[in-house]
Amino acid sequence: MISIIQIVSTWTIPVLIAFIPLYASLRKVPVYETFVDGAKDGFGTAIGIIPHLVGMMTAIGMFRASGAMDALVGVIRPALELIGIPSDVLPLALLRPITGAGSLAFVSDLIKEQGPDSFASRVASTIQGSTDTTLYVLTVYFGAVGIRNARYALKVGLFSDLVGFFAAVAACWLLFGLV
């Protein structure tokens, strides 16, 4: 099953890249000119995101460097340990919505330290894989079209991250048992 999914995901892109121009050619679309024309927009879009990402990354970088992130983790650690969540995974609950690269580095480090088949590593892997970086997605998607008032989107994203965190712990309990 997994290998089938993996084959599908490696084949989709090349097949798509070949299929779209072929189909368009048959419908008499000047494919290369159209490609260049559309690609121009991509450049502008990417440049337009820069101010949004710079603003966000600056705040995140400062937050981590000042040690405030670690302090925050220290505050909620006892509460979560009380309900049996491995404390090594905790920083991830805060890192995951904020920084994708940072949380990936954290998970890699945890896997290296505790071995890939430890309970904490599995929970961390599940958290990393099951959700996306909320703040990044919000910044990029809304930044690309110039939305400044995100309304309730951030609350929804963070809420689903929180639910996802507990769901990941519960799913690992359910499927691997307490190791």
Partner 1 sequence: MVNWIWMGMIVFSVIYGAANGKMEQVAEAAFGGAQTGVTVCLGLISILVFWMGLMRIAEEAGLVRKLSLLMAPVVRKLFPDVPGDHPAMGYILSNMSANLLGLGNAATPMGIKAMQELQKLNPEPTVATPAMCTLLALNTASITLVPTTIIAIRMNFGAVHPADIVAPTLLATLISTGAAILADRWYRRRNRLPPAFNANRNAGSVNPGAAVSPPPASAGGG
Touching partner 1, residues 84-103 (CB under 8 A): 97, 101
Beta carbon nearer to partner 1, 77 or 142: 142
Range in contact with partner 1 (rule: CB under 8 A) among 7-15, 73-81, 85-93: 7-15
Give yes or no for a contact between 96 and 103, defined as CB atoms under 8 angstroms apart.
yes
Instruction: Pick the closest to residue 49 from 172, 166, 137 (CA basis).
Output: 137
Residue 149 touches partner 1, criterion: CB under 8 A:
yes
Beta carbon nearer to partner 1, 78 or 146: 146
CA angle 4/7/8 to nearest 5° reads: 85
- 1 three-class SS: coil
Residue 168 CB, nearest approach to partner 1 (Å): 4
- Helices 68-82 and 90-98 cross at an angle (nearest 10°) of 130
- 72 three-class SS: helix
Range in contact with partner 1 (rule: CB under 8 A) among 8-16, 75-83, 86-94: 8-16
Residue 168 touches partner 1, criterion: CB under 8 A:
yes
Element (H, E) at 36: helix 31-65
Of 116-135, binders to partner 1 (CB under 8 A) are: 116-117, 121-122, 125-134
Beta carbon nearer to partner 1, 54 or 79: 54
Cα separation of 110 and 165, whole Å?
16
Phi then psi for residue 72, to 5 deg, are: -65, -40
Binding mask 33-72 for partner 1 (x = CB under 8 A): -xxxxxxxxxx-xxx-xx--xxxxxxxxxxxxxxxx--x-
Among 2, 75, 83, 178, binds partner 1 (CB under 8 A): 2
